[in-house]
Amino acid sequence: MSMREQIQQALTTLAPEHLEVLDESHMHSRGQETHYKAVIVSEQFAGLNAVKRHQKVYAGLGELMGQFHALALHTYTPEEWQQQNGAPDSPTCRGGSKHDMLGQ
Query: Which of residues 97 and 4 earns the better pLDDT score?
Result: 4
23-68 pLDDT, tens digit each: 887 665 556 777 889 999 999 999 999 999 999 999 999 999 888 8
Domain residue ranges in the chain = 3-86
What DSSP letter does each residue of 71-101 carry, written as one string? EEEEEE-HHHHHHH-SPPPPPPP----GGGG
CATH superfamily of 3-86: BolA-like (3.30.300.90)
The distance from CA 34 to its chain's CA centroid, rounded to whole angstroms, is 11
Average of pLDDT values for 82-91?
Answer: 74
Backbone angles phi, psi at 76, to 5 degrees: -140, 150
Q: Is the pLDDT of residue 12 over 90?
A: yes
Indicate yes or no: pTM above 0.75. Answer: yes
Which pLDDT belongs to residue 102? Answer: 41
